[in-house]
Structure 1
Amino acid sequence: MHRVTEPTDPLLADFTALNDPARRRRVERDGGYFVVEGVLAIERLLALPQWQVRSLALLPKVADRLADQLDALDAPVAVADEAVLREVVGFDIHRGALASVERRPFPSLSELVNTGSPQLLVVAEGVNDHENLGALYRNAAAFGVAAVLLDDGCADPFYRRSVRVSLGNVLAVPTGRSRRLADLHEQGVTTVALTPRGDRRLADLGADVLGPGPLAVVVGAEGPGLSDETIAAAHHRVAIPMATGVDSLNVATAAAVALHHLATVAAR
């Protein structure tokens, strides 16, 4: 650990101006890294050996809490008071914990899909809200999802807000790309599109309908939902019944309902 007293210290360079989203996205993309914020998310990070930590910036009390986990870490740890970190990041950093982490290339579909297993997957189309995406990963982790697959219209799952809302589970659940459902179908995946226009209820999907292979829950952004092309391509188009006057759920909540049902079906 290194005690830091000046906001210009090079150890804090990765965390400059976190309050400027456009600048941060550009800086982190160009630098090939992302930032994790919050003690719980960083504890999750430190428990996952697949990630390469570049540096950490911690309040003294947080450094004391994480001391045992930091002993084996091969990365510099800057310990600074709140006033110093506030000047660096641009806002009050009450959580007192930041880490910069090297990005990794996404695995291929063939690496993520096990055709001989009844695994669960989540496919997201156009989910461009960072908090919704983080919540989606948190729910995916809760129901044992093997991977979350994103199209090009989704937000960056490793943006600071997404990682924080996911409680670090963005780091634990593998992420891949999926631009067409046909690519998943070629891997033997059965796709279930969630849409208010579904022609059957989610509860009607049993093991006899779904089969023994991998299952993917396909969700879209709030508002537009899934594209007509994706809905038409899915093996099943299902709706979650709701009270009169309510036509949809938050995307992460809808995915959680579907994952609970499908996980229960798969366990029978």
Structure 2
Amino acid sequence: MATLVEITDPADPRLADYRDLRDVSLRKHVEAEHGLFLAEGEKVVRRAVAAGFTPRSFLMAPRWLDGLSPELGASDAPCYVMPEALIESVTGFHVHRGALASLERLPLPPVARVLAGARSVLVLEEIVDHTNVGAIFRSGAALGFDAVLLAPRCADPLYRRSIKVSMGAVFTTPWTRLPSWPDALPSLSAEGFTTVALTLAPDAVPIEDAVDGLDKVALVLGSEGHGLSPRWEQSADRRAIIPMAAGIDSLNVAAATAVACYVTARR
């Protein structure tokens, strides 16, 4: 059972995992160095623990202890208890969902394991906004997608903001990073997936037509700014577009993913 530890000093060194969470560069350094990630909110913490991630510690206000009592009871990690105002002085923001947990990362699985048994996959290239990554995971999970593959420069799905926006879908959806970016799409084609790139390319067809009748589909999505790289756009098996009303040429990548996932799920 977790040991409850009351802390009154925001500078207590035991709170190092939680300090100054608004500083993205600091978080990336700390999380990479120590192999940790942070979950915020009762539901998200519960889903992280249920997915098999080992807590390093918990941080919460007294009124949230009962809600996570099963998780605290099953863990030997310390639970640091502080008034909410002091928690905010540690983290740098208002923890409005009441609880935080620092958890140990698991090794990323190989691509073959992530794709085993999958029929619908999302493939992300250089999507660098953590909110977009979290929203994409949530849409994919909600619409029955089996896995997510990320190019090396995509934002971290286990960054706090990504986890929060995904509502824990990053814990339940198998995902990993692609070891070889240049040949990623031909490799998926060789595994029996039809790669469908969302793009404004001149030969793009409506998404409904691009996925119609396909068995195994990999939807390929590019960065928030310039979209897919020319290499990925051209190496995809098919190019697809979401038809728009006059005067609008595209959607935010997270919104486009939701639409494309819905259409693909109904193929």
TM-score (norm 2): 0.91
| Candidates 191, 194, 201, aligned match of 1:190 | 194
* Mapped partners of 1:74, 1:145: distance in 2: 35
| Candidates 198, 207, 214, aligned match of 1:202 | 207
| Candidates 16, 22, 41, aligned match of 1:13 | 16
The farther-off stretch of 123-132 and 137-146 is 137-146
Asked if the contact 1:123/1:150 (under 8 Å) is kept, the reply is yes
Partner residue in 1 for 2:85: 83
Q: Secondary structure at the match of 2:65?
A: helix
Partner residue in 2 for 1:226: 228
Partner residue in 2 for 1:33: 36
- Offset from partner CA, 1:59-80 (integer Å, 9 cap, x none): 1111122213322123221121
Q: How does 1:43-192 map to 2 (within 5 A)?
A: 43-48=46-51, 50-114=52-116, 117=117, 119-178=119-178, 179=181, 180-192=184-196
Letter in 2 for 1:249: L
Asked if the contact 2:128/2:153 (under 8 Å) is kept, the reply is yes
The size of the alignment, in residue pairs, is 259
* Structure 1, unaligned runs of 5 or more: none
Q: Secondary structure at the match of 2:112?
A: helix
- Offset from partner CA, 1:34-59 (integer Å, 9 cap, x none): 111222321221322x2111111011
Asked if the contact 2:210/2:239 (under 8 Å) is kept, the reply is no
Letter in 1 for 2:86: V
Asked if the contact 2:37/2:158 (under 8 Å) is kept, the reply is yes
Structure 1's consecutive aligned runs of 4 or more residues displaced over 3 angstroms after TM superposition are 8-11, 205-208
Quick one: percent identity of the two aligned structures? 43
Is 2:250 the partner of 1:248?
A: yes
Q: Secondary structure at the match of 1:183?
A: helix
* Mapped partners of 1:128, 1:206: distance in 2: 26
* Mapped partners of 1:110, 1:255: distance in 2: 23
Asked if the contact 2:42/2:67 (under 8 Å) is kept, the reply is no
